[in-house]
Amino acid sequence: MKHIIDQLKPVEFETAFSTNEQCLEFLADEKWKDGFVCRKCGNTNYCSGKTPFSRRCTRCKHDESATANTIFHRCKIQLSEAFAIAYNVCKTPDISTYELARRLEKRQMTCWKFKKVITDCISRNGSLQFVQSIE
């Protein structure tokens, strides 16, 4: 993800990730770029899931969303807003949560909580990786 963020100017980022659908499409493409593998049974065949950009295993019928097992799993804010926080944190790692809250017109605590998720991911993996490894 860091390589994408480094290449995009703020206006380009805003255009590319302004809607939740654009963010979900990006996550799905990034998550399954090497192909779909069901986390329950290991099957590689799938069909469309119940929600946009989700995939459903044809063997065990497990439905996996694009956000499952990513830093955006169970995110309480809009996906496009979470992407904006991630973009700002990666562009300016020492940005304060007060500045994030001002720029994005969100509560400071919301920005703090998601910035912590991002910084924890970076410290654990050495870079921002949306998709987490299976343990």
* Domain spans, the chain: 2-32+70-125
> What's residue 135's pLDDT?
33
End-to-end CA distance of the chain: 21
Q: What number of other Cβ atoms are within 10 A of residue 100's Cβ?
A: 21
Q: What's the predicted TM-score (pTM) here?
A: 0.84
Q: What is the pLDDT along the chain (135 residues), one digit of tens a residue?
A: 666 777 888 898 999 999 999 999 999 999 999 999 999 999 999 999 999 999 999 999 999 999 998 999 999 999 999 999 999 998 888 999 999 999 999 999 999 999 999 888 888 877 666 555 433
Phi, psi of 22 (to 5 degrees): -65, -40
Q: What is the pLDDT of residue 3?
A: 66
Give the distance, in angstroms, between the CA of residue 23 and the centroid of all CA atoms in the same chain. Answer: 7
pLDDT at 127: 67
